[in-house]
Amino acid sequence: MRDAVTSLIKNYDLAGRYFDRNAIDSLKSYFDSGTARVQAAAAINTNAAALVKQAGLRLFEELPELIRPGGNAYTTRRYAACLRDMDYYLRYATYALVAGNTNVLDERVLQGLRETYNSLGVPIGPTVRGIQILKDLIKEQVAAAGVGNTAFVDEPFDHITRELSEQDI
């Protein structure tokens, strides 16, 4: 797993360049937000199970057809699988949040996920909505933990939803 620093170094090394002003500014931004990233991870870690449960409840409140007979979260096994996947997204998004880099999401979560979901008949739209609900809950939790600007929380969750969403080419 790469973080913002190792990715930046790799890119400049491959280009055979010294750090320029953009690289220095990028590093400064990453280190300036480091404490907030760690606080966010601590808030997520402390409340992960409750966050996933609450996100699931909100999702099924918005889309009750998912838990009705014939819905993709109908039966205890499918409901549990949905929450398991949300927890999985949360864990890896937290890694990406701390790293300041979404590479871990591409490598460990997203590679082939849309195709897998499509082959299993898992609807992508509700999955994306669940991840966005999770992001909103986390931003509330992180703000409650004392982090003033929670905008950095968006990046990993938005990356997941963007990559899972259907794309017109």
Rounded Cα distance between 51 and 127, Å, is 15
* Residue type present at position 107: E
Q: Tell me if the pTM is above 0.85.
A: yes
Contact 153, 135 (CB under 8 A): yes
Q: How far is CA 99 from CA 67, 71, 89, 92, 136, in A?
A: 35, 36, 15, 11, 20
Planar angle of CA 159, 64, 67, nearest 5 degrees:
90
DSSP code at position 146: T
CB 142 within 8 A of CB 150: yes
Whole-number Å distance between alpha carbons of 111 and 59 = 24
Mean pLDDT of residues grouped by 10 in the chain (169 residues)? Answer: 89 96 94 94 96 98 96 95 96 96 92 88 94 97 94 96 75
Q: List domains and CATH numbers for the chain.
A: 1-32 (no CATH), 34-164 (1.10.490.20)
| pLDDT given for residue 2 in this prediction | 80
